[in-house]
Chains A and B, each alone.
Chain A
Amino acid sequence: MSIVIENVEKTFIDSKKKEVTALKDINFTIEEEEFVVLVGPSGCGKSTLLNIVGGLLSPTSGSVYFEGIKESNPNLGIVFQEIALFPWRTVFENVVYGLQERGVSKKQQQEIGNHYIDMVGLTDFKDAYPKQLSGGMKQRAGIARALAVEPDLLLMDEPFSALDAQTRTLMQEELLTIWNRTKLSTLYVTHNIEEAVYLADRVIVLSRHPGQIKEIINIDLPKTGRNDEKYREQSSKYADEIWQLIRHDAEAALKE
């Protein structure tokens, strides 16, 4: 099974009634058990692309489809930048939301819900409302909610960008641990280059005006322990390579 993004193009009409091309000629495939990271400067349309893949936005042309899948309705799990937990539901009720909507039995909801709440380390907070949680805990609940539906594709839209630097580092490590247990096909959006190198099997670098694929970089590092001393040099080489690709665009974005 793989997810194909084929000739996706997206144009908007801006406030001055001018047509703006946000995405152009986007072609890539997410293989089974592959962790793909989209990285680019602000305004490159990376969140737009993720929304299109997630079925929350229609492309102007082109299409996104699953290939080699038996189910007629593939499952998607999305972790939102804004977290978007339902404030009126407890952590548990949030996590099992997708299961409820699929008509999974109460008993199975309990089982699956508790399993993923345990996986993200929120067992003690399963009956808490989102307002009672810290930013990092909220996003862990958001991750558990996305994992609980056992998605065919996991989408993550800058999930840690609202967190402080220390929490973010810990969450990245935790995400990798979880990912190694679930091995879900994942599309992850970030503007943080180190994060991209740390997490990705493949990094897709986008440029802006219009948002186009500038380069696809395979990260040839073992999936775990990329923070170790021996990989540090290679990691920073990758990061530097990506930064050189983005730098010009990022500077231009700053001047707008």
Chain B
Amino acid sequence: MEKQKQVITNRVAFLDKKVPFYTSFLGIAGILVLWEIVSRIGIVSPLFLPAPSNIVITGWEMLVSGEIYGNLTASLYRIVLGYAIGAACGILIGLIIGFFRTADAIGTPIVYAIYPIPKIALLPLFILWLGIGELSKVTIIALGVFFPVVINTFSGVKSVDPMLVKAAVTFGSNRINVIRKVILPGALPMIFAGLKLAAGTSLLLLVSAEMIAAQEGIGSMVLHYGNLMITSKLMVGVLILSLLGLIFNRALRWLENKLIPWKE
């Protein structure tokens, strides 16, 4: 009698299916091409939707004229300063309320009471207190960054393995060194999660604040050209914001890989 042969194949091969690298570009390229065609043959008026090529050309002209430079530096100044202040305060206070029990009892209710307020609602108040200049805008961004960072830092501190604290103390660390050498590095992955979250928030607040009260800046530029119905210039502003967000995210990811080479 002939023996029956049944080969067993890997039935979950689809789990590690490889996709060629250019696949990710296909979707975006497809949309751009479609968009260009729709605009070129005049299905949609360029007033509502200018062609991508048109946006790029307009963008180049604005770059050469120095218009982008002025607005971009104004925006960058606000977001970089606001983000830096908010992140630094968030990490510091997060570490403190995460580590010291008394600070936790006092600080946590305050943080959670203020956290749910949509920060942009506070802008009129800040303008009243701090004037219409840069300070109120930087403050609102710093505040928006502060909360996601402080909350993530806090839970990062709480998630540090207590064994590591015991080990550090056993080998002679005082409290400050426990925070510096154990709690901070241990909380770093969570801190970065907070920083990434805050990057989106900061961009949102930047644009909102600039639309409400600013002469210069990408946000006010977008609003300005919207009012004038110069859609292609408006789209350049949107494009810059999208690039800004992308660069921000990439920079943070680069920094994370630099600072946390030990991560699983």
Contact = CB atoms under 8 A, between A and B. Distances in A.
A131 interface: yes
B264 A86 contact: no
Contacts of A102: 172
B167 A78 contact: yes
Contact of B170 (A78, A82, A86, A130): A78
Interface stretch (B80-88, B158-166, B242-250): B158-166
A86 B261 contact: no
Contacts of A149: 171-172
A170 interface: no
A56 B170 contact: yes
Interface size range on B against A:
20 to 34
A28 interface: no
B173 to A, nearest CB: 5
Interface string A86-122: 1111000000011001100000000000000000000
Contacts of A97: 168, 171, 181
A125 interface: no
B166 A80 contact: yes
A243 interface: no
Contact of B161 (A55, A84, A129): A84
A54 B167 CA distance: 10
B107 interface: no
A76 interface: yes
A56 B162 CA distance: 11
A80 to B, nearest CB: 6
B167 A84 contact: yes
A84 B172 contact: no
B192 to A, nearest CB: 13
A208 interface: no
Nearest to A145: B171
Interface in B127-177: 161, 163-164, 166-173, 177
B120 interface: no
Given A101-B177, A131-B262, A86 B164 contact: yes
- Interface SS of chain A: loop
Contacts of A87: 262-263
A80 B167 contact: yes
Nearest to B167: A84
B260 interface: yes
Contact of A84 (B163, B261, B262): B163
B182 interface: yes
Contact of A98 (B172, B188, B264): B172
Contact of B166 (A84, A88, A129): A84
Given A82-B163, A84-B163, A86-B185, A54 B170 contact: yes
Nearest to B185: A88
A160 to B, nearest CB: 17
Interface in B226-264: 260-264
A55 B163 CA distance: 13
Nearest to B173: A101
A88 B183 CA distance: 11
B262 A129 contact: yes
Nearest to B174: A101
B176 to A, nearest CB: 11
B264 to A, nearest CB: 6
A56 B185 contact: no
- From A55, A76, A97, A98, name the one whose CB has the most chain B CB atoms within 10 angstroms: A97
8 smallest CB-CB distances across A and B, nearest first, come from: A98-B171, A101-B172, A84-B167, A84-B163, A88-B185, A129-B262, A88-B262, A78-B170
Interface of A: 54-56, 76-78, 80, 82, 84-89, 97-98, 101-102, 129-131, 145, 149
5 contacts: A80-B163, A84-B166, A86-B164, A89-B262, A149-B172
